[in-house]
Amino acid sequence: MDASPCVKLKRQPQGVPVADDFEIGEAEVASTGVECRSLYISLDPYLRGRLSGRHLTGLISPGDPMTSETVLEVVESGHGFVAGDIVRGHAPWQHRMRLPPESVHPVDRQIRPASLALGVVGMPGLTAFAGVHRLLQPSSGETLLVSAAAGPVGATVAQLGRIAGAHVIGMAGSDEKCRWLREVAKLDAVIHYKREDLRESLDCHCPEGIDMYFDNVGGDVLQAAMERLALGARVALCGLMSQYNTDEPPAGPNPGLIIRARAIVRGLVVYDHEALRPEMEVSIQREIENGHLAYKEDISEGLETAPEAFCRLMRGDNFGKALVKVV
Amino acid sequence: MDASPCVKLKRQPQGVPVADDFEIGEAEVASTGVECRSLYISLDPYLRGRLSGRHLTGLISPGDPMTSETVLEVVESGHGFVAGDIVRGHAPWQHRMRLPPESVHPVDRQIRPASLALGVVGMPGLTAFAGVHRLLQPSSGETLLVSAAAGPVGATVAQLGRIAGAHVIGMAGSDEKCRWLREVAKLDAVIHYKREDLRESLDCHCPEGIDMYFDNVGGDVLQAAMERLALGARVALCGLMSQYNTDEPPAGPNPGLIIRARAIVRGLVVYDHEALRPEMEVSIQREIENGHLAYKEDISEGLETAPEAFCRLMRGDNFGKALVKVV
């Protein structure tokens, strides 16, 4: 059998995952499909839900290979691909594999480094682009609040909002992240939610209330934002970082807060917005080239570092889009 | 001084209001304005919030007259009105008064009995009309769930939904209300939420999930509905009956339920939709005349019965639009 090293789930994590919840093993390389080698593996908080069977993309059980969005290089021409092509697809955390042709998508040659196809011009970029342009639809001068603003989705939302003329306030949990948001991403205001009194800071930076809130975290940060919605506010609910590591989903804000603001609260799932991808790729790459949009990557080297890199992400200790560079 | 009997708040209610929280007194009749006598006073759950200073229309303090939407007869011509005109306005619970002309609105002569201007073709009707046609926008065959479905808002929402071709499930809390919803309002299904296991009944009547939910109550009924939202669901949050009598607003459903369904959840406040009133009046009267839309009134006779009638409403013991017929 043709086999290749891969990362498997060893046991279901309890609370915050630890590296020992995973193991390095070998997996068979299928005999048909597009032969590829992994270049970059995307680590994403939503994966935590899959380890408990709580995510809409299904369960990963002990013994199963870990899978996620991956950028790969085609090593053997065929199925319409040429050796050397850079592609992306949902794939196991594995060195070499053959993937069903329908699950392999070319990565535009303009996207370099190719890792960006997993970040600012990949799924996180698409999430942000759909959130800003389809759900929030900022008008110039409106206040946009973003949680987990130094993450790949949050940072892109915040900067797309700034580009659209919104007054953008980002929340993050370390001095380094806050400095980057202020100095590099050029947000209008930044709240260090661990050091500052969150509600006081929100009152200070959003004296007229919050017109738009993009939420990546849920929990008390969502509660504090909902308490301060301006009339006609729009809220995009996208992530639940505060509860991915918990077993029971906690309660949310009282519905009276939505009624009072006549707010529109919407759930955002990126899979619904795939049709926006070409427009997003062009638009975000242009903003990067023009120096209007910054991004940050947090790259861990070697397939064997993937478990600990994922655990670091789930502890909130990463800074930038969490990736594993496989080779 | 020219004075007239009126109902005042005696003390701030604790929990469910009791008749002793109110008192009958006298109030001065202003020397200028449109001279009117009260015909019907509207009793509404939102008033409970005003007694605790929690409603967006402001606080009623001990010693203040109770006020609400009222239908009145003009007793002296002037200010563009003629004696005998039927009008509506926000007014004290009082026999006779003079009202500022700008707060007095004629009631269309087609609306008879005039009490309907406080119910199915009044504020509750406008709430329902805006909720269905602006927020929920039913498509034929979609599932619409309505809480407090025998109340004046809920019953109108449910029937407008049925007229639009939705499959309508109403929830109510007494045999009599459930029978009326089934036999007179002709809903597709009715759940007696006090007698039945709510979640089992919802699973039975909404096997494919809930496409639209119109919420008048909040609390656990909202939670159970949100757990069952279909993809692309719309939720109109309109009332909070479960918490009007409480001091601290309880938590709401977890935001993950909104994300999972990619739902659109909106707060509905009727004051935003005043421009729809003429269209609503024509449309709802036509449906009543055609026998497609039923309504129910719960009328208490005499100004002095208003406190107990309001308390009955806040205990959920009314059946139909709660009104006081003043004379």
What pTM, to 2 d.p., does this model score? 0.93
pLDDT, averaged across chain B: 96
A19 touches chain B (CB under 8 A): no
CA distance A92 to A30: 12
CA of B290 vs chain A CAs: smallest distance (Å): 33
B residues 56-95 closer than 8 Å to A (CB): 56
DSSP-assigned beta bridge partners for residue A69: A90
CA distance B19 to B190: 32
CA distance B176 to B165: 25
Q: How many helices (H) and strands (E) does chain A have?
A: 9, 15
CA distance A126 to B176: 52
| Inter-chain residue contact A251 with B256, CB threshold 8 Å | no
Residue A166 is encoded by which pair of tokens?
A: 């919104």
DSSP structural state of residue B79: T
Q: Cis check for the bond before A17: say yes or no (omega within 30 of 0).
A: no
Residue type present at position A192: H
More confident site: A110 or A300? A300
| Inter-chain residue contact B243 with A263, CB threshold 8 Å | no
What does B215-234 look like in DSSP terms, one character per residue?
ESS-HHHHHHHHTTEEEEEE
pLDDT more than 90, % of chain A: 92
The answer, yes or no, to whether residue B43 has pLDDT greater than 80, is yes
Stretch A282-301: mean pLDDT, rounded?
Answer: 97
**By C-alpha distance, which of B227, B224, B235 is closest to B260?**
B227
The answer, yes or no, to whether residue B53 has pLDDT greater than 80, is no
A222 touches chain B (CB under 8 A): yes
Confidence band of A290 (pLDDT split at 50, 70, 90): very high
- A-chain CB neighbours of B243 within 8 Å are 254, 256
The answer, yes or no, to whether residue B55 has pLDDT greater than 90, is no
| Residue in A240, A263, A268 closest to B267 by CB | A263
Nearest residue of B to residue A220, measured between CA atoms: B251
Stretch A256-275: mean pLDDT, rounded?
Answer: 96
- A-chain CB neighbours of B269 within 8 Å are 259-260, 262
| Inter-chain residue contact B266 with A265, CB threshold 8 Å | yes
DSSP-assigned beta bridge partners for residue B114: none
- B-chain CB neighbours of A256 within 8 Å are 218, 240, 243, 249
A136 touches chain B (CB under 8 A): no
Q: What is the pLDDT of residues A43-52, one digit of tens each?
A: 999 999 899 8
Q: A300 — phi, psi (to 5°)?
A: -105, 135
Please report the pLDDT score of residue A247 as a whole number: 79
Please report the pLDDT score of residue A246 as a whole number: 84
CA distance B137 to B165: 11
CA distance B19 to B154: 26
B174 CB-contact burial (10 Å; exposed 0-12 / middle 13-18 / buried 19+): middle
